[in-house]
Amino acid sequence: MRLLLVEDDLNLSRSLKIEFEHAGYAVDTAMDGQEAEFLGTTENYDIVILDLGLPKLSGLEVLRLWRQNQNNVPVIILTARDAWHEKVDGFKVGADDYLGKPFHTEELLARVEALLKRQHGVNKSGLSAPGIELNEEQQTLLINGQQPIELTAVEFRLLRYLMMNSGKVLSKAQLREHLYDNENEHDSNVIEVYINRLRSKLGKDLITTRRGQGYVFGKKM
């Protein structure tokens, strides 16, 4: 999953980027509203964490512009703890959730995960398929209740995105856009390598190739 973090406090931005990368997200950052508006318009993100007090263009104006241009990316706004009016204004222009500063990173991570699962219609208890369970906290795979299988960072991100979009045809280009940040973009052919690695762990039937289209996660009916 690919996340845009918009925060002008450099130390906070750096620490949150590290935490989210450890949690299996590809993270791009923006330090001001103009850069944020541009990235959110030109790139495909699964979710945005948006501070409201930004230089050049306020977070509210960034969000307003996105929504006016039919950009419906899920957005969690960050506000001062006592700025209740900012929360109201944020919801009015299209925010999906908010968190007041200061906050615990664990709570922000939990809100991000919950919002993503709501957006994809996934049960909050976790990601699973018949005989298979993905442990998002440990980034491991459990098959038929046997010993957990370790996943690399990219394998985990790829499998999580496939499971979030179970039953949908996902092209190599789509997968690449949602697996890598701007600093670590890869050729879409690399996706095939990781698909084959997952098949070696899951079995060949769970990820189907649609020739000329992409891949579909889920058992055939």
Of the chain, the end-to-end C-alpha distance in Å amounts to 27
Q: Is 220 a residue whose pLDDT tops 60?
A: no
> What pLDDT, on a 0 to 100 scale, did the predictor assign at position 171?
92
Q: Is 125 a residue whose pLDDT tops 80?
A: no
pTM: 0.88
> What pLDDT, on a 0 to 100 scale, did the predictor assign at position 186?
67
Q: Is 221 a residue whose pLDDT tops 90?
A: no
> What pLDDT, on a 0 to 100 scale, did the predictor assign at position 28?
96
**Look-up: residue for tokens 């499971």?**
163
Fold of 127-217: Arc Repressor Mutant, subunit A (1.10.10)
Percent of the chain predicted with pLDDT > 90: 62
Fold of 2-119: Rossmann fold (3.40.50)
> What pLDDT, on a 0 to 100 scale, did the predictor assign at position 70?
95
> What pLDDT, on a 0 to 100 scale, did the predictor assign at position 56?
95
**Domain range annotation of the chain:** 2-119, 127-217
Q: Is 5 a residue whose pLDDT tops 50?
A: yes
